[in-house]
Amino acid sequence: MNSFTENEDLLEKDEKHLWHPMHKSNDSSPMIAAKGDGAWFKDTEGKQYMDGVSGLWCLNLGHGRKEIAEVAYQQMVELSYFPLTNSHIPAIQLSEKMSRLLPTDYVTFFSNSGSEANETAFKMARQYHSQNGNPGKYKFISRYRAYHGSTLGALSATAQANRRVKYDPTVPGFLHVPPPYSYRSLFGPGEEGDVAAADYVEEVINWEGAETVAGMILEPFISGGGVLIPSSNYLKRIYDICQKYNVLMIVDEVVSGFGRTGQMFGFMHSEGVEPDMITMAKGLTSGYLPLGATAVKRDIYESFKQSGTDNHFRHVSTYGGHPAACQVALKNIEIIERDSIVERVKEYGGSILSELYELNQSSNVGDVRGIGFLYGIELVEDKYTKAPASSELIGKIITACKDRGLIIGKNGDTVPGYNNVLILAPPLSSTVEDLRFLVDTVKDVIFEATNDNPK
């Protein structure tokens, strides 16, 4: 590792030249990562940490997969770049693989990120309706607390007030509805409240006029907004409503896709749901290279093949579907299938990680929510009022975990006054020992920080 002098030099250059996402003026110096192995990494001072949030929800197969790095190298040597205004072999193979993973016939458009994948979906949806005799269908519905990206259109769908401060007004035509949030639901707890939240979407479509609503975008499980886990009937009810009103259902699988929830895709927990569009990134390559994707049902794709000067999809992504990124995605998916990653997430998410529910014994834990390798712990001042826990308590717990060698996350910059959910999303390849360390550390730290003794 670097000497103290070398590390100080790096920090000085970092502060002078590098603009960090989400960084505040009073934040401490950033951690500088140097080397990773599996679910763990070391910083430039030689300290070792388990990454309990998979980087930014993306490092699904962990650090150091040489077989992934090797296919990227081999592809760069063979064909370093080629635009998809024509074609290349890795993109053809990956798009075919995507069709095999999904429940019906889809065609895939590649981009670079989740934000771009969602932007692409919005443009596709508006154009699809316009050239199918419904030019007035331009509005999109999303849920409060949801995150769909930071580019201007994706930010318009992102219904997190803190993310939009000083960037409004955003793109017109985006509507927001309450999420299925059993712990703080406007419609009541449990499955009945979730179904009522879905039915509210139908009311909004009618109030706005179905002839004006192009689509609804939603994560199967709201992730960055606080890990909200609805019942399986919620998504099916949304699907049925969208079908009824010719509203395209856009499922954002950027976080939940590729095994994180114990299914290959999150929407697969709900029987009978076949989204019109599915957006992907993050786990598509396990973060080894940037790649986004928007998969659309074939009948939607076919409508863009009508004759005319402007009926084709007039959208291009220079690096979308980069040959090396496509090869990385293919190898990533191969490993997921070969190593039965989805099955082990289902098993260990329901056994080891489910021990996090014991934290409900704490007087400052209002709710624990989880599925697969995705968990949220909502901290409160007291269980009766459900008042959100202070930022001091949140910071104290995150710092204590870091001091013990565990990095965890929280729902930062989302809802004013409600950034009180701790987030855990470890690499899907984490060993039993890794998961045991994560669970034991989080439980010990929270019980100590809240002065509670577990029964």
Instruction: Name the residue ranges covered by the structural domains of the chain.
Output: 4-64+342-449, 67-338
pLDDT (tens digit per residue) in 334-390: 999 999 999 999 999 999 999 999 999 999 999 999 999 999 999 999 999 999 999
User: Among the residues of 245-276, which ranges form H helices?
Assistant: none
Which segment of 243-247, 296-300, 407-411, 414-418 scores lowest on mean pLDDT?
A: 414-418
pLDDT of residue 1: 58
pLDDT of residue 76: 98
Cβ–Cβ < 8 Å for 59, 38: no
- C-alpha closest to that of 145 among 448, 420, 451, 443: 420
Q: How confident is the model at residue 455 (pLDDT cuts 50, 70, 90)?
A: low
- C-alpha closest to that of 377 among 290, 296, 443: 443
| Residue 92, helix vs strand vs coil | helix
* pTM of full prediction above 0.85: yes
pLDDT (tens digit per residue) in 90-115: 999 999 999 999 999 999 999 999 99
pLDDT (tens digit per residue) in 137-165: 999 999 999 999 999 999 999 999 889 89
Architecture label for domain 4-64+342-449:
Alpha-Beta Complex (3.90)
pLDDT at 4 over 80: no
Tokens 């927990």 locate to 269
Cβ–Cβ < 8 Å for 141, 176: yes
pLDDT of residue 453: 73
Widest Cα–Cα separation across the chain:
70
pLDDT (tens digit per residue) in 205-250: 999 999 999 999 999 999 999 999 999 899 999 999 999 999 999 9
Q: What angle do CA 343, 346, 347 make, to 5 degrees?
A: 85
Plot region of 229 (φ>0 → left; ψ -120 to 50 → alpha; else → beta): beta
Q: Can you state the percent helix, strand and coil of the chain, rounding each to 5? A: 40, 15, 40
Cβ–Cβ < 8 Å for 155, 147: no
pLDDT at 308 over 90: no
Which is higher by pLDDT, 288 or 309?
A: 288
Architecture label for domain 67-338:
3-Layer(aba) Sandwich (3.40)
Cβ–Cβ < 8 Å for 251, 221: no
> Within 10 A of 82 (CB to CB), how many other CB atoms are there?
15
pLDDT at 25 over 90: no
Which segment of 67-76, 89-98, 184-193 scores lowest on mean pLDDT?
A: 184-193
pLDDT at 54 over 80: yes
- C-alpha closest to that of 220 among 193, 194, 189, 188: 194
Mean of pLDDT over the chain: 95
pLDDT of residue 441: 98
Tokens 């009810």 locate to 237
Tokens 């990494």 locate to 41
Query: Per-residue pLDDT averaged across 250-267, rounded?
Result: 98
Tokens 């990385």 locate to 328
Helix or strand run (H / E) with residue 236: helix 232-244
Residues 6+ apart with CB under 8 A from 373: 260, 261, 345, 348, 349, 353, 425, 426, 427, 428, 430
Q: What percent of the chain has pLDDT over 70?
A: 100
Query: Per-residue pLDDT averaged across 26-36, rounded?
Result: 89
pLDDT of residue 89: 98
